[in-house]
């Protein structure tokens, strides 16, 4: 299970200010710290980039890749910015992401074929609604796969995000259990070993008690790993959660256990 740092986010004031001034140093410092903290992938969440999307996304990707060889996840709903990031990429990139929303099917999904990169597919309805249960998610996953096949994109480029919702939702705990079912059974439903990703930070979104949020993360992450999750998107500076995530790897790895992996 790979751990993806979600710290390079436009809501982070240091990132926002660095992007506004096109100052690479705060970005470089943050990315270096993320890698040292155990990140396997860097998520570049730029927001919509309504102004100068090409210049700003190019700046972000080039700055990140100047200090790390880790894969980057280009995280924007702006197709112009997305393509600019893919053009700037010199190493390994992942598109984050698309759903069944028509504009994303038309403008984001084809970029996966054009640039031969993996792409995340969100199990959401075309109007953005979150499915209610595992059955609805399986139906959406089949539609996502069909969309991939319609574009003649290799199915192995697909990464499914079943969409974790906050536990504070009325059916939040039920949804959390349904996610585990989806991750475990998707390969059988789709007929191939599809990769999966989950945004762990969503689980306790909006909750004011940091200690309890971290406890939930540390509890749910091993459950996701046991279900077969491929990638977890999370705050890489939550060191106790990261320690648990790293410890999951040798336990779910089919190879012979080694203490050296911990």
User: Which CATH class name applies to 2-261?
Assistant: alpha beta
pTM for this predicted structure = 0.95
Residue 262 pLDDT > 60 = no
The pLDDT value given to residue 94 = 98
| 166 vs 255, higher pLDDT | 166
The pLDDT value given to residue 209 = 64
* Residue 24 near residue 59 (C-beta atoms within 8 A): yes
CA 245 distance to own-chain centroid: 15
- The candidate with the shortest Cα–Cα distance to 61, out of 47, 32, 82, 40, is 82
Residue 51 pLDDT > 70 = yes
Q: What's the mean pLDDT in 73-95? A: 97
Q: What's the mean pLDDT in 69-86? A: 97
The pLDDT value given to residue 256 = 63
Across the chain, mean pLDDT equals 94
Cross-strand pairs, 43: 73
Question: Which pair of structure tokens corresponds to residue 11?
Answer: 């809501």
Question: Which pair of structure tokens corresponds to residue 180?
Answer: 């585990």
Residue 45 pLDDT > 80 = yes
Percent of the chain with pLDDT over 70: 95
The pLDDT value given to residue 168 = 87
Helical spans, DSSP H, in 162-209: 172-190
Q: What's the mean pLDDT in 86-101? A: 98
pLDDT digits (tens, 9 = 90+) for 9-43: 999 999 999 999 999 999 999 999 999 999 999 99
Three-class secondary structure of residue 75 per DSSP:
strand
pLDDT digits (tens, 9 = 90+) for 134-150: 999 999 999 999 999 99
The pLDDT value given to residue 108 = 98
Calpha distance 134→182 (Å, rounded): 6
pLDDT digits (tens, 9 = 90+) for 112-133: 999 999 999 999 999 999 999 9
Question: Which pair of structure tokens corresponds to residue 102?
Answer: 């028509």
Three-class secondary structure of residue 46 per DSSP:
coil
| 260 vs 182, higher pLDDT | 182
Q: What's the mean pLDDT in 47-57? A: 94
Residue 65 pLDDT > 60 = yes
Residue 253 binned pLDDT confidence (cut-offs 50, 70, 90): confident
The pLDDT value given to residue 149 = 97
Residue extents of the structural domains in the chain: 2-261
Three-class secondary structure of residue 101 per DSSP:
coil
The pLDDT value given to residue 41 = 98
The set of residues, in sequence order, having a beta carbon less than 8 Å from that of 258 and lying 6+ positions away, is 250
Residue 250 binned pLDDT confidence (cut-offs 50, 70, 90): confident
Distances in whole angstroms, Cα of residue 117 to Cα of each of 1, 112, 181:
19, 5, 27
pLDDT digits (tens, 9 = 90+) for 186-238: 999 999 999 999 999 898 876 666 678 889 999 999 999 999 999 999 999 99
């Amino acid at each position: 299970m790979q751990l993806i740092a979600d710290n390079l986010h436009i809501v982070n004031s240091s990132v926002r200010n660095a992007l506004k001034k096109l100052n690479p140093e705060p970005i470089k410092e943050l990315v270096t710290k993320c890698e040292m903290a155990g990140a396997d992938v860097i998520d570049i969440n730029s927001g919509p980039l309504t102004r100068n999307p090409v210049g700003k996304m190019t700046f972000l990707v080039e700055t990140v890749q100047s200090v790390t060889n880790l894969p980057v996840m280009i995280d924007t709903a702006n197709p112009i910015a997305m393509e600019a990031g893919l053009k700037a990429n010199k190493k390994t990139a992942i598109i984050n992401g698309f759903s069944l929303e028509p504009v994303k099917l038309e403008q984001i999904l084809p970029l996966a074929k054009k640039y031969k990169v993996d792409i995340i597919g969100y199990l959401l309805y075309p109007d953005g609604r979150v499915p209610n249960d595992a059955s609805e998610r399986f139906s959406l996953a089949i539609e996502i796969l069909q969309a991939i096949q319609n574009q003649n994109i290799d199915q192995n480029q697909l990464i499914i995000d079943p969409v974790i919702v906050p536990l504070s939702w009325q059916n939040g705990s039920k949804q959390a259990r349904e996610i585990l079912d989806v991750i475990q059974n998707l390969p059988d439903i789709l007929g191939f070993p599809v990769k999966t990703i989950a945004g762990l930070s969503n689980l306790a979104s909006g909750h004011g008690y940091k200690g309890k949020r971290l406890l939930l993360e540390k509890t749910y992450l091993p459950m996701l790993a046991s279900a077969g999750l491929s990638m977890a998107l999370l705050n890489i500076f939550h060191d106790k959660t990261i320690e648990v995530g790293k410890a999951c790897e040798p336990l779910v790895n089919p190879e012979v256990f080694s203490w050296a992996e911990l």
